[in-house]
């Protein structure tokens, strides 16, 4: 949780270094850039005859994606690797990593891709300056979301660390907001150790809604510990605090207001 972060740089020096994420998007650092193109999604509509593996890795719930999925209209083509979530707790649903004008959202989905034009796999790419591209979707409460439920309904099968379950394929684009052309773009880092400063971030401006029940399931369904642990530890507050953002700009594809 947010308490443990202070210790990260000792073991993982990059966590105390430059270009760290997440950040707060506020007026002073935003700059409109007319050259930002909407992303092009290839292979995101995955057949239900295929399956994704969903796993509890002890600090998040993660779903491995099809290597046929990729995104374009970035400096390179990036191939999908996995998606995972960050969230708060049932008493304080402020679990997004990125914030907008200081405001937290309830949770945040990250879809992680690696530069497949230059690197053979995500392990080779993750410590390279142009290695990764992550899409971030901000989640808030509102109407029930049937698309997110395709993942959330399986949480009870990955209650404990190292448990996995198969999730039938579906169109991953359903997890993204309608207005794909409005986003924040900046160069940052992984938000978990080793915090490599190698991520080209695209954070969509438009949040997605999930129901209060769905959020509660996310906040309460899982544990960081293995099933036989005598002292189970709830998986909550797995977001990193906001990082300093000096002498840098975030480019935006939309006009403020």
> Which positions are annotated as active-site residues?
59
Helices (H) and strands (E) in the chain, counts: 4, 15
Which positions ≥6 away from 211 have C-beta within 8 Å? 141, 142, 143, 144, 145
3-class secondary structure for 46-81?
Answer: CCCCCEEEEEECCCCEEEECCCCCEEECCCCCEEEE
173's tokens: 């684009």
* Nearest partner of 238 among 216, 223, 217, judged by Cα: 223
Q: How far apart are CA 126 and CA 81, in angstroms?
A: 11
Strands 208-210 and 132-141: parallel
**SS3 (DSSP) at 153:** coil
* Nearest partner of 198 among 211, 189, 210, 206, judged by Cα: 189
Q: Which residues lie across from 24 on neighbouring strands? A: 99
């Amino acid at each position: 949780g947010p308490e443990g972060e202070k210790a990260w740089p000792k073991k993982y020096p990059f966590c105390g270094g430059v270009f760290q994420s997440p950040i707060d998007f506020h007026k002073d650092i935003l700059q409109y850039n007319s050259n930002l193109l909407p992303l092009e999604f290839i292979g995101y509509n995955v057949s239900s005859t295929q399956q994704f593996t969903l796993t509890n890795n002890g600090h998040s719930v993660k779903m491995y994606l099809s290597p046929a999925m990729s995104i374009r209209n970035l400096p390179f083509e990036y191939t999908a690797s996995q998606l995972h979530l960050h969230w708060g707790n049932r008493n304080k649903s402020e679990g997004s990593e990125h914030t907008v004008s200081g405001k937290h959202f309830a949770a945040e989905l990250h879809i992680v891709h690696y530069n497949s034009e230059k690197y053979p796999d995500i392990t080779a790419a993750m410590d390279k300056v142009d290695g990764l591209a992550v899409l971030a979707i901000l989640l808030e409460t509102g109407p029930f979301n049937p698309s997110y439920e395709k993942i959330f309904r399986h949480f009870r099968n990955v209650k404990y660390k190292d448990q996995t379950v198969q999730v039938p394929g579906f169109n991953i684009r359903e997890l993204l907001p309608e207005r794909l052309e409005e986003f924040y773009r900046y160069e940052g880092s992984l938000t978990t150790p080793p915090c490599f400063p190698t991520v080209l971030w695209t954070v969509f401006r438009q949040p997605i809604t999930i129901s209060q029940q769905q959020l509660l399931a996310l906040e309460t369904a899982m544990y960081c510990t293995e099933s036989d642990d005598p002292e189970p530890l709830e998986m909550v507050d797995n977001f990193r605090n906001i990082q300093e953002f000096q002498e840098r700009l975030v480019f935006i594809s939309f006009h403020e207001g």
